[in-house]
């Protein structure tokens, strides 16, 4: 196996408000590392009964309280686990995540089905509320306001032409009452001394 020379970065400050890494994220990263090391020649170890029991305890604790278990599994605690235990924890948590997603989908389907049943309720208020909630589902979108914006592209020359037409039209509409004064006469009348 080839030797790897690691050079640590010294003097890097660790933030005080650093939150603990979520156990699923930590296990996934560790499993990816193990897979990489095995691709580089690390020998595969079979899990012992102790590895199986320890991984079951860790994942059971995570199922009960994910936040506390993630806090308890510090870098030091997780790095003390054997490679088979890490792989088992990773595979169990991966399956746990898939099961949780399946459970969420099943729960959503149950809610949707119950709402459909409630649309046949004899009480009009319950029927109306069920229909309203079904209408608010993203797939239905009956009460979503949609705004359409139409963008028409016009060339610069067309825009100039329209602007000139509007200015010409405005000039024709302006009417001036009274007589026109020359610019010099206008200046004289505005700047007349008050005593005249």
The domain ranges of the chain are: 23-109
Query: Do 90 and 27 meet the contact criterion of CB atoms below 8 Å apart?
Result: yes
Query: Do 92 and 55 meet the contact criterion of CB atoms below 8 Å apart?
Result: yes
Query: Do 85 and 47 meet the contact criterion of CB atoms below 8 Å apart?
Result: yes
Q: What is the pLDDT of residue 185?
A: 61
H/E run at residue 37: helix 23-39
Question: Please, what is the Cα angle at 195 between 193 and 196, to 5 degrees?
Answer: 80
pLDDT tens track for 90-146? 888 888 776 765 676 777 787 888 888 888 889 999 899 988 888 888 778 777 777
Rounded to an integer, what distance in angstroms lies between the CA atom of residue 10 and that of residue 53?
38
The gap from C-alpha 22 to its chain's centroid, in whole angstroms, comes to 19
Query: Do 143 and 136 meet the contact criterion of CB atoms below 8 Å apart?
Result: yes
Q: Residue 195, Cβ neighbours under 10 Å: how many?
A: 4
Provide the token pair at 129.
């509320």
The gap from C-alpha 138 to its chain's centroid, in whole angstroms, comes to 16
- Comparing 35-39, 81-85, 159-163, 166-170, the range with the smallest average pLDDT is 166-170
pLDDT tens track for 177-193? 555 555 566 566 656 55
């Amino acid at each position: 196996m080839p030797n790897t020379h690691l050079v640590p970065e010294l003097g890097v400050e660790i933030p005080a408000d650093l939150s603990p890494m979520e156990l699923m994220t930590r296990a996934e990263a560790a499993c990816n590392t193990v897979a990489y090391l095995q691709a580089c020649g690390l020998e595969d170890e079979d899990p012992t009964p102790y590895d199986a029991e320890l991984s079951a305890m860790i994942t059971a604790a995570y199922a009960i309280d994910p936040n506390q278990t993630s806090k308890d599994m510090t870098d030091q605690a997780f790095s003390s686990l054997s490679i088979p235990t890490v792989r088992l924890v990773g595979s169990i948590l991966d399956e746990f995540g898939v099961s949780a997603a399946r459970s969420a989908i099943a729960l959503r389907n149950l809610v949707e089905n119950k709402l459909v049943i409630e649309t046949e309720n004899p009480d009009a208020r319950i029927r109306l509320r069920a229909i309203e909630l079904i209408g608010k589902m993203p797939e239905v979108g009956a009460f979503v306001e949609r705004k359409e914006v139409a963008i028409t592209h016009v060339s610069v020359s067309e825009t100039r032409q329209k602007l000139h037409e509007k200015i010409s039209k405005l000039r024709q509409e302006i009417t001036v009452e009274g007589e026109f004064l020359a610019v010099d006469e206008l200046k004289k009348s505005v700047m007349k001394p008050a005593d005249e």
